[in-house]
Amino acid sequence: MNSQYHDIINTFEQFASWEDRYRFLMKAGKNLADFPDKYRTEQNLVQGCESQVWLHIEISNDELKCFADADARIVKGLLFILLTPLNGLNAKQIATFDLNGYFEQLALIKHLSPSRGNGLLSIANTIQQTAHKLSE
């Protein structure tokens, strides 16, 4: 696992309140890799989000690289949280990564619930399904 992932886990362990977690989320999106303008297309716009969210997956051999962006800060922070542990993993590892356990550990699990309007669950599913197909 990469060092940013461990940083996230360690940082969240020290958070005592939801306010701390949300202050982090509000700023964390800045650390997301730049979203290339060529990927900012209608096709990459994630359906069912209350804010605008884009996802693009670059595939080469059995590697996938995910780019995501959002115009709302908290969702963007959540995208950073979501993508960080997947960086550097191969397709099979991404497909089997326990995202629920990870979000549970950060006390952010409700953001992966189907009732949320932020589309995080559908993004997580798209990435893992793509990785699954690639590793078959």
Per CB under 8 A, residues contacting other proteins are 18-19, 22-23, 26, 50-52, 71-75, 117-118
Nearer to other proteins, 85 or 119 (CB): 119
Contacts of 106 (CB under 8 A, 6+ apart): 8, 9, 12, 21, 81
d(CA 118, CA 114): 9
The tokens describing 22, both together, are: 């949300």
Q: In one letter, which amino acid is 82?
A: L
The minimum distance between CB 136 and other proteins, in angstroms, equals: 36
**Strand partners for 66:** 57
Active-site residue, from 28, 46, 49, 134: 49
Nearer to other proteins, 49 or 86 (CB): 49
For residue 49, indicate whether it is catalytic: yes
Specify the residue, 81 or 89, whose C-beta has the smaller distance to other proteins: 81
Min dist. Cβ of residue 39 to other proteins (A):
21
**What is d(CA 70, CA 73) in angstroms, rounded to the nearest whole number?**
7
CB of 106 to other proteins, least distance (A): 15
Active site residues: 49
